[in-house]
Amino acid sequence: MPFEVRASCPEERDEILDVTDAAFERTSREFFETAWRLDPNDAPELHRVGVLDGRIVSAARIVRKTVRVGCAELTLGGIADVATHPDFRGRGYATEVLNDCLRYMDASGYHLSMLFTGLQAFYRRLGWEVFPTYHHLFHLLPNLQPPLTLPLSKGEMEGVSAGWKPALRIALLDQDQHLEAVAHVYEEFNLTRTATARRDVRAYESTLRWRFDPRAFFVAFEGDEVVAYVRGAFGEEAALHEFGCLPGSEETLRGLVQHFVVEARAHGARRLAATLPREEGVLTVLTRCAESVHIRQGSGMMLRLMGVRRFLEALVPELERRVIAAGHAASFALGISCLNEQVEIRWDDWRITLGDLSQPSLVLTLSPIVLLQLLLGIGAPALASVPMTAEQRSIVAAIANAGEFVYWSADGF
């Protein structure tokens, strides 16, 4: 029988686990089984399989998520658990399974695909491109002991107070009591933050069963209300996976982050790794707790655009918001040429519409990764050399004003 790629059937779960178990010698079968079972969006059709002579020999999993881009939302397909049985490697089976994943996501209306890998060249052949991320590594001071008071004067940084609230109430996460409050804080903190994933309580219940260090998840209160949280993991190199607070509780969050660092050091941490949004008060706290700080550019995240017009259609509400925020009242038409698609973005009467190219004053010919960089918040340096008038640059700057790109590591797959 010829090699066949298709969706899995419910009764094939154990056979797929056999393949992943054989392919990933250093990762337990239980890890994959737990991740699949606890993913609230998991379904048989999201497991794509390659079958040879009636036997599954290759597989990959699509992790379905909804992510924000400002006030818009995109459907993202994460690619995970790409595996070929060792006895059948080198025949192109994984490539065929991945192409089947792409066909499925395209037919199902996905906007983006994301994966994390060290094999960039392999996935680049199929259209994924490295999307740069930046990570902080803090080498912690050796003498951090609670209670810790950092010498922050008001003159050192605007918005950071000279001391922390003396009666800050902090507790380890109690899943029965705090989970709904943490989910609420997350939503408020990330309401318009680009690339953050939509979550509900089920998402926390799943990840906290298999990717959870119970020593390193803290909540902070104002009165009886949970207003901030910090989530991470302890070890010689501790990790700060995520944090958040309600509006107006930024000082409480800074105090909670300070507490997290002290606890990490007490548990033997010498270094702290974190992927941080631009919350300057938090960065200041972490910097004050460190002998040195290094910023590393990561290349493990790769993105793939699933369709230009589809992507832009989903972003229309956010693009309108950006242009209005920029105060750009004059009508314009901007052409985008990418992936053999040509789309015109038209701004008129305070509305954005999309259409085929007519006679826009400017057409940007972009690679998919440059278009993603332009609209998802890290800018597109390649556009600096494109000839434009001042008016055209102001138009591009308006639609590109996405804020910052933050994909919390707790949402990894």
pLDDT digits (tens, 9 = 90+) for 350-407: 999 999 998 877 899 999 999 998 999 776 666 777 888 888 888 898 898 777 889 9
Tell the residue number behind the tokens 């737990």, with chain if given. 34
- pLDDT (0 to 100) of residue 380: 66
Which residues lie below 8 Å from residue 45, measured CB to CB, with a gap of 6+? 7, 8, 104
pLDDT digits (tens, 9 = 90+) for 120-145: 999 999 999 999 888 899 999 988 76
- pLDDT (0 to 100) of residue 145: 64
Provide mean pLDDT across the span 33-60.
94
Which 3-state string (H, E, C) describes the chain? Answer: CCCEEEECCHHHHHHHHHHHHHHCCCCCHHHHHHHHHHCCCCCHHHEEEEEECCEEEEEEEEEEEEEEECCEEEEEEEEEEEEECHHHCCCCHHHHHHHHHHHHHHHCCCCEEEEECCCHHHHHCCCCEECCEEEEEEEECCCCCCCCCCCCCCCCCCCCCCCCCCCCEEEECCHHHHHHHHHHHHHHHCCCCECCECCCHHHHHHHHHHCCCCCCEEEEEECCEEEEEEEEECCCEEEEEEEEECCCCHHHHHHHHHHHHHHHHHCCCCEEEECCCCCHHHHHHHHHCEEEEEEEEECCEEEEECCHHHHHHHHHHHHHHHHHHCCCCCCEEEEEEECCEEEEEEEECCEEEEECCCCCCEEEECCHHHHHHHHHCCCCHHHHHCCCCHHHHHHHHHHCCCCCECCCHHHCC
Neighbours of 292 (CB within 10 A): 11
Task: Walk me through the domains of the chain, giving residue ranges and CATH numbers.
Answer: 4-130 (3.40.630.30), 133-297 (3.40.630.30), 307-399 (3.30.1050)
- pLDDT (0 to 100) of residue 121: 95
Structure tokens, 351: 């509305």
Tell me the range of 77-81, 154-158, 372-376 where mean pLDDT is highest.
77-81
- pLDDT (0 to 100) of residue 343: 96
pLDDT at 203 over 50: yes
Structure tokens, 148: 């810790």
- pLDDT (0 to 100) of residue 392: 87
Binning pLDDT at 50, 70 and 90, where does residue 152 land? very low
Provide mean pLDDT across the span 270-279.
88
- pLDDT (0 to 100) of residue 379: 67
- pLDDT (0 to 100) of residue 209: 64
Q: Average pLDDT over the chain, rounded to whole? A: 89
pTM: 0.89
Quick check: 7 and 97 in contact, CB under 8 A? no
pLDDT digits (tens, 9 = 90+) for 103-115: 999 999 999 999 9
pLDDT at 27 over 80: yes
Structure tokens, 245: 């607070």
Provide mean pLDDT across the span 63-75.
95
- Pairing mode, strands 271-274 and 290-298: unpaired
- pLDDT (0 to 100) of residue 156: 36
- pLDDT (0 to 100) of residue 167: 57
pLDDT at 164 over 60: no
The dihedrals phi and psi of 245, each to the nearest 5 degrees, come to -155, 165
